Chain A
Amino acid sequence: MNACRKAGLAHFAVTIIGKDRPGIVADTAEVLFKLGCNVEDSSCTMLGGEFAMILIISHEKPFSKKQLEAEFAAKTAGGGLSAFVRSLKDDEVCYQEPTGELCLVSVYGSDKPGIVYRITRELADRGVNITDLNTKLIGSPAEPVYVLMLEAALPQDLSVEQASQLLENLKKELSVEISVRLITPVSL
């Protein structure tokens, strides 16, 4: 199973963000490698002109957050990168496997305030757990279009059809297209 269950490891969440350029990942990985840290889980992407990294890292105990912060401060000084480190408790480390169906919700339409808020509030109130979410503003400056794609684990008592029904009213209210489809992995 996941390496997260190894005992004797200290875990940290690290967030790094800065103006995009080649080498941000390599610089970060170099700091971690030299300190003897493992990258347990990570997701990194471009957001606008920024490159954003979110990592769960581990190091054999004893190891302090201060050591990490000091190394990153040295590396990021003057480089336009900001780094943030948070210590994780044991129960924050492991991925909680969703029990219900996994679905992909796509929402798009003319840009207006409240798309993300209304959609995610509706889902949250019904116990739907978002596992991944991307938004993008596309289209032309004259006619901006908002696109939101999210993956979510449904609670056991909610079907994809019901989840779709749940968002039905928001289609009209926000005048956006909304579709929900099943993407639960097939095990082969």
Chain B
Amino acid sequence: MAVQRILLYPNPILKRMSRTVERIDAEILQLVEDLVDTMEAGPGSVGVAAPQVGVCLRVCVVDVSNNRHGKDNNHGRLLMINPEIVERSGLAVMREGCMSVPDYTGDVERATEITVRFSEPDGTQREFLASGFEAVAIQHEMDHLDGLLFLDRISSLKTGLFRRKSYK
């Protein structure tokens, strides 16, 4: 067990672009283990990205199988090294919160289906279609690898619903 402390914004590490993992060595394996331990320790946490524990490498873990939104549609525990989204479709809004930005939530629009590709810790390449909450969680964690927080993506003010437009 090596539960790491989750960094909170305004820690500048959270706004940094993470580096690609060149070689999966003992250090990376340890990082993956730490991320899993940290995710399991966070109440209701469904994912942690390396920058959240202070490491600017493109590694994140996601597991929505115990969450009510994800339990019927998931790929189990995902240990993702150098994840990439190769295709995305659909858009849906969900109100998100983040362990690194406590006490605030916002409506974020994200793709409802993504094809994601990544390396597993043993070097195996995986690629599959994720949808629903799992897709949202993957996109949220991957944003951390690009130094993006959900605050960068809030899609509307709550009152945005009522903005007048002229329809011709």
Contact = CB atoms under 8 A, between A and B. Distances in A.
Interface string B135-154: 01100110000000010000
Interface string A105-143: 000000000000000000000000000101010000000
A169 interface: no
Nearest to A106: B161
Contacts of B94: 186
14 contacts: A1-B102, A132-B158, A149-B161, A184-B95, A185-B97, A186-B46, A186-B94, A186-B133, A186-B136, A187-B98, A188-B45, A188-B46, A188-B99, A188-B150
Given A134-B162, A149-B161, A188-B141, A2 B103 contact: yes
A136 B97 CA distance: 29
B5 to A, nearest CB: 16
B149 to A, nearest CB: 11
B105 interface: yes
Nearest to B137: A188
Contacts of A45: 159
Interface size bracket, A side: 10 to 19
B47 interface: yes
B80 to A, nearest CB: 14
Contacts of B47: 188
Given A1-B102, A1-B103, A2-B103, A185 B95 contact: yes
| Most chain B beta-carbon contacts within 10 A, residue among A132, A183, A187 | A187
A147 B163 CA distance: 13
Given A1-B103, A2-B103, A186 B161 contact: no
Q: Is the interface of A mostly helix, strand, loop or mixed?
A: strand
A42 to B, nearest CB: 12
Contacts of B103: 1-2
B161 A188 contact: no
B162 A136 contact: yes
B77 interface: no
| Most chain B beta-carbon contacts within 10 A, residue among A2, A136, A149, A185 | A185
Contacts of A184: 95
A183 B102 CA distance: 18
Interface string B37-65: 00000001111000000000000000000
9 smallest CB-CB distances across A and B, nearest first, come from: A185-B105, A185-B95, A188-B140, A185-B97, A187-B97, A136-B162, A45-B159, A183-B95, A187-B44
